[in-house]
């Protein structure tokens, strides 16, 4: 059974506007992927910077993380180290289509 956590993901777009969304994810990168996918579909959000900071607050139990979008894209493009990692990256890529 996956260890899903509720998260609030916050990012600043290229115009400097801060956007936040709540997602449920198994990993930090999946939370970022879900948020990026949602922001891309949101008409209020401008384009996201290629290397901007993304803030992830895990709410079960409360924990916060920040990750650079450049690092997220590097993780997504890197070869997978395990079948689980391959499956997770496929799921995140599917969110971004």
Q: What is the pLDDT of residues 35-62, one digit of tens each?
A: 999 998 888 877 888 888 999 999 988 8
Calculate the CA 96 to chain-centre distance.
10
User: Which pLDDT score, from 0 to 100, does residue 43 have?
Assistant: 82
Binning pLDDT at 50, 70 and 90, where does residue 6 land?
A: very high
Q: Where are the domains of the chain?
A: 5-89
Q: Which position has the higher pLDDT, 91 or 42?
A: 91
* DSSP E strand stretches across the chain: 5-12, 18-25, 53-59, 62-68
Binning pLDDT at 50, 70 and 90, where does residue 1 land?
A: low
Q: What's the Rg (C-alpha) of the chain? A: 13
Model confidence pTM above 0.95: no
Phi, psi (5° rounding) for residue 25? -145, 160
């Amino acid at each position: 059974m996956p260890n899903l956590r509720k998260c609030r993901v916050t990012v600043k777009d290229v115009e400097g506007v801060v956007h936040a969304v709540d997602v449920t994810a198994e990993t930090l990168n999946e939370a970022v992927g879900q948020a990026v996918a949602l922001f891309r579909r949101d008409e209020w959000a401008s384009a996201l910077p290629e290397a901007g900071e993304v803030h992830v607050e895990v709410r079960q139990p409360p924990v916060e993380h920040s990750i650079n979008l450049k690092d997220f894209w590097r993780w997504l493009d890197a070869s997978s180290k395990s079948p689980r990692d391959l499956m997770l990256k496929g799921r995140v890529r599917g969110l971004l289509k």
